Amino acid sequence: MTWFTRAHFAVGCVMILSIVFYFYNFVFHDFCGQTPTEVPTMLKTWLPPVQSGPCTCAPGSVMLKDHISKEKYDEVVQRRSKELQHHKTRTKSVLTRLLLASPNSPLQYPIQGFTVRPLTSTLIPGLVLHTGARSSYEVTLNVSKGVLSTMSTEGVQVKGNGETTLTVQSNNLLFLNALLSKVSYKSTDYHVNTGDLVSFQFENHKAVFPVVIKQPQLPVLYDMGTDISSSVTITTKTFLRYDQLRVLVNSIRTFYANIRIIIADDSFEPQKMTGEHILHYIMPPAQGWFAGRNLAVSQVTTKYFLWVDDDFEFTKDTKIEQLVEVMEAVPELDVLGGAVQGNQFYFSIIYEKGDEKEGGCLYRKSRGKYHPLPGYPQCTVVSGVVNFFLARTDAVQRVGFDPKLQRVAHSEFFMDGLGSLTVASCNHVSIGHQSKRDQPGAYSRYRHPPNSDQEFKYQHHFFKNNLKCILFG
């Protein structure tokens, strides 16, 4: 590079730096070097668009409204809308509101983790004003679901003590900050889980931060004991398949002599299942798959339960301890699926809320997965697994199984648990499947329900899950 070329290059760099420096001062500072009171308009518009409006149905989806009779459609939609509003009231609060922090604010405040018990006065941590010299300083705090209080201190004027709006004024910044450290919040209505927003203002600077109002919950701990029988219960549901059920129980006893087995049975003519550590619960006839699951899981007293179908068969590869090992190492897990005859079956669930009127869009993607489970490359994080899984008892009991779904139902449990259950699938623990055999005619009639059952299922998803469309891929 010649001297002339190097000189031009240097001049160009200086010009670029000058432009950048000018732009920085023009956008972020006024001509006196002061920080502006708000973000310039040109920067305010540079925000990600808010996602709203109808969701997009996956190709091939079932449009659920087409399965609602035209005569009842408007009435059903009105009832669904009312129930959705009740659901939002129970599950949403002001804490879901989007908050944006202004740049270079002189206000210090807690942005996360400030939790109070209902109706209990609690100091707000970290309230501080950072600013240059003034002849007088005044800050205002405002809330809507509680009251604000502080102590009276010489040199500081307080207005609104014990009210929703608190104003603090002083000629001394140290005195004012000392009093801010004594400001407390107390909710005025009892609610076990809600929140409030605190507005904190000085001159033209305003910040808003959340308060979590929550009744603390007692921990629910399970004594794991000293062996697998103290930590895991095996559960199953049976209907008219006693030959298969006996094979299952005998295979369990081959490998786990003392583990408790819970059987939910809605057969027409129940047969006794006897033996040590077997609990056989007789239900009214033909109550269905999910009703039986609810009954069986409701009687589990151990930390975990292993769900199996009544035509499965334990083998040397059905090592429950290895599933427990993974669950204990990753406490965030709620459900851990295994393999059936060496094959994994799992899926992901893609859900868009959509707008309130039309409802959401749901796609169950077969073989869909997210990523390997950290520390366990043989396991993958998913949304749902096969009917052979180890589950955390209290987590599954909170979600439950919808007893309206009587015949063909499995994915629906994981749909109801979406957002609350963490699920993974592993390939290193497997269970066998018994050879198919002829079934009683009554079993076949219930195992393969008529089209009316499928119609009911679509109508149920339309209302219960506020769905516009669904695709089981």
CATH number at residue 467: 3.90.550.10
Is residue 200 domain-shared with residue 289, that is, in the same domain? Answer: no
Each residue's pLDDT expressed in tens, for the chain with a length of 473 residues: 444 444 444 445 444 444 433 333 433 333 333 333 333 333 333 233 435 689 999 999 999 999 999 999 999 999 999 999 988 887 777 877 777 788 889 999 999 999 999 999 999 999 999 999 999 999 999 999 999 999 988 899 999 999 999 999 999 999 999 999 999 999 999 999 999 999 999 999 999 999 999 999 998 889 999 899 999 999 999 999 999 999 999 999 999 999 999 999 999 999 999 999 999 999 999 998 899 999 999 999 999 999 999 999 999 999 999 999 999 999 999 999 999 999 999 999 999 999 989 999 999 999 999 999 999 999 999 999 999 999 999 999 999 999 998 877 789 999 999 999 999 999 999 999 999 876 666 666 666 667 888 899 999 999 999 999 999 98
Is residue 246 domain-shared with residue 163, that is, in the same domain? Answer: no
What pLDDT is stored for residue 282 in this prediction?
Answer: 97
What pLDDT is stored for residue 441 in this prediction?
Answer: 61
Which residues, including other chains, have CB under 8 Å from residue 396's CB and lie 6 or more apart?
A: 297, 305, 334, 335, 417, 421
81, part of any domain: no
- Least Cα distance to 471 among 337, 344, 351, 359 occurs for 351
Half-sphere exposure of 235 (CA within 13 A, CB side): 28
Is residue 365 domain-shared with residue 409, that is, in the same domain? Answer: yes
Greatest C-alpha distance within the chain:
101
Which residues, including other chains, have CB under 8 Å from residue 294's CB and lie 6 or more apart?
A: 400, 401, 403
- Least Cα distance to 292 among 339, 349, 235, 240 occurs for 235
Distances in Å between the Cα of 99 and the Cα atoms of 28, 51, 124, 199, 208 are 21, 16, 19, 11, 7
Half-sphere exposure of 293 (CA within 13 A, CB side): 27
Is residue 125 domain-shared with residue 204, that is, in the same domain? Answer: yes
Distances in Å between the Cα of 45 and the Cα atoms of 42, 48, 49, 138, 322 are 6, 9, 10, 31, 53
Q: Which of 153, 186, 214 is the last residue of a domain?
A: 214
Q: How far apart are CA 140 and CA 183, in angstroms?
A: 11
Indicate the pTM of the whole model.
Answer: 0.82
58, part of any domain: no
Q: How far apart are CA 120 and CA 71, in angstroms?
A: 52
DSSP labels for 91-142?
H--GGGS---PPTT-SEE---S--EE-TT--EEPTT-EE-----S-EEEEEE
Q: Are strands 335-340 and 423-433 parallel, antiparallel or unpaired?
A: parallel
Distances in Å between the Cα of 272 and the Cα atoms of 279, 291, 441 are 11, 20, 21
Which residues, including other chains, have CB under 8 Å from residue 366's CB and lie 6 or more apart?
A: 347, 473
Neighbour-count burial of 469, counting CB atoms closer than 10 A to its CB (0-12 exposed, 13-18 middle, 19+ buried): buried
Which residues, including other chains, have CB under 8 Å from residue 60's CB and lie 6 or more apart?
A: 471, 473
Number of structural domains in the chain: 2
Q: Are strands 261-265 and 278-282 parallel, antiparallel or unpaired?
A: parallel
Is residue 387 domain-shared with residue 417, that is, in the same domain? Answer: yes
Is residue 375 domain-shared with residue 455, that is, in the same domain? Answer: yes
What angle do helix axes 451-464 and 70-91 make, rounded to 10 degrees? Answer: 40
Convert 426-450 to b/e letters by CB count within 10 Å (16 or more is b).
beebbbbebeeeebeeeeeebeeee
What pLDDT is stored for residue 446 in this prediction?
Answer: 63
CA Rg value for the chain: 31
Is residue 232 domain-shared with residue 207, that is, in the same domain? Answer: no
Q: Which of 164, 183, 214 is the last residue of a domain?
A: 214
433, part of any domain: yes
Is residue 279 domain-shared with residue 410, that is, in the same domain? Answer: yes
Residues in the chain: 473
The secondary element (H helix, E strand) that includes residue 324 is helix 320-329
What pLDDT is stored for residue 103 in this prediction?
Answer: 82
Give φ, ψ of 421 to 5 degrees. Answer: -105, 130
Is residue 330 domain-shared with residue 385, that is, in the same domain? Answer: yes
What pLDDT is stored for residue 251 in this prediction?
Answer: 98
Is residue 204 domain-shared with residue 246, that is, in the same domain? Answer: no
Is residue 245 domain-shared with residue 331, that is, in the same domain? Answer: yes
Is residue 148 domain-shared with residue 201, that is, in the same domain? Answer: yes
- Least Cα distance to 392 among 309, 331, 320, 317 occurs for 331
Convert 324-347 to b/e letters by CB count within 10 Å (16 or more is b).
bebbeebeebbbbbbbbeeebbbb
21, part of any domain: no
Q: Which of 152, 184, 214 is the last residue of a domain?
A: 214
86, part of any domain: no
Q: How far apart are CA 211 and CA 113, in angstroms?
A: 8
Amino acid at 461: H
219, part of any domain: no
| Structural domain boundaries, residue 311 | 228-472
100, part of any domain: no
DSSP labels for 18-48?
HHHHHHHHHHH--TTSPPPSS--HHHHT-SP
333, part of any domain: yes
